[in-house]
Structures are given as C-alpha cells and as structure tokens.
Amino acid sequence: FRPPPSTAVLAAICVGIILWNELLVDGYTDFNEVHHDAPLASMLPSFLTFKLTLPTDPFFLCGGPLGLLLVFRNDVSFGRYKEAFHHWEVACSSLGNMMLMAANSS
C-alpha cells in the first residue's frame, strides 16, 4: 500500500472541511447569491454543529517565498526560451545563406 501524495491529502482535507461547513453547519450560497440552510443539519446531534477552520498563517507565510520561486523559475524558463530562439535564428540564417551560396554557384 502506497500512501497518496501530500497534495492529494491536503486537497481531501480542504474538500472535507468545505463539505462539513456547507452541508452540515452553515449552509451555502448559490450563484444567484441566495443563502440556503445546511441541508443535512437536522441529521447531526447538537454537539457536532461546530464549524471547522484551517489556520491561515501557513498560507500567508508560504505565499511570499512561493511567489519568488515562481518568478525565478519563470525567469530561468524565459532565458532558456530566448537561448533556444537565438539558436533557431542562427540555424535558419545559416540555412538561408547556404541556399544563396548554392544558387549563386550554379
């Protein structure tokens, strides 16, 4: 048995919290901005009607470094693209020059 990747675990936890809060405790708001009561709230005993939350501090603390990492990765990627484009231009230019030399020699 292989455990699921950490991103799948985090996504499952987040989906579980959203479903708990919207279907069992608070209710939900539809696309027309109409609030509906929790459809499964009557099935829960009163001691289980607490709202689940995740702390937001880890998300705020990771946001800056992840943003910088993304910028640097994009910068490196763009540098590779520019280098490849330069090589492609050199190859096309050389091919054009060879075709001109071949046309002029005959």
Count Cβ atoms within 10 A of the Cβ of residue 24 and give its class: 0-12 exposed, 13-18 middle, 19 or more buried.
Answer: buried
How far is 16 from 86, CA to CA, in rounded Å?
Answer: 50
Instruction: State pLDDT tens for residues 37-93.
Output: 888 888 878 787 788 877 778 778 888 888 887 777 788 888 899 999 999 999 999
3 compared with 60, residue with greater pLDDT = 60
